[in-house]
Amino acid sequence: MSKVLPFVPRQSSTRSTAAMLHGRPVQPMPDPGQRQAMAAADYTVENKGTLLLLRSSNAKAYDWLVAHTDPEAHWFGRALVVEYGYIDDFVDRLRSDGFSVLDLDGVVTPTGTEAQRL
């Protein structure tokens, strides 16, 4: 027979009401303008702490990424895992080959016209 535990109401708190997941605040959904930019970009760069995810958003971009990376590269689903020290080189090569890259978290060093806008 199982023991029924008494109900204990949640204590009120002065802490932030932001949603938490695994002890970290949950990122809000991007605004519609950012979602359109994400849909228009061939790649997105996502900051995941110590590593970055380079995610392709279409088949042509994904095929290029697979063809131009080492077969033993680390993947997280369909996203390439990249260390901070290499992301600028990746993005420069992608842009020189005609792809668009959206930096979601500001980790890529701005170059060219992007640096002029800042």
How far apart CA 79 and CA 73 sit, in angstroms, is 11
The letter for the amino acid at 79 is: A
- 84, 49 contact by CB (below 8 A): no
How far apart CA 78 and CA 96 sit, in angstroms, is 22
What are the structural domains, with CATH classification, of the chain?
30-117 (3.40.1170.30)
- pLDDT at residue 72 tops 60: yes
CA distances from 43 to 10, 46, 103 (A): 43, 10, 9
- pLDDT at residue 35 tops 60: no
- pLDDT at residue 13 tops 50: yes
How far apart CA 84 and CA 31 sit, in angstroms, is 26
Where do runs of H (alpha helix) occur along 1-118?
Answer: 32-40, 59-67, 84-96, 113-117
Is the model's pTM score more than 0.75?
Answer: no
> Nearest-CA neighbor of 89 among 69, 118, 114?
69
Who wins on pLDDT, 67 or 6? 67
pLDDT-derived band of residue 25, with 50, 70 and 90 as boundaries? Answer: low
How far apart CA 51 and CA 81 sit, in angstroms, is 7
Who wins on pLDDT, 108 or 21? 108
What pLDDT score does 38 carry? 54
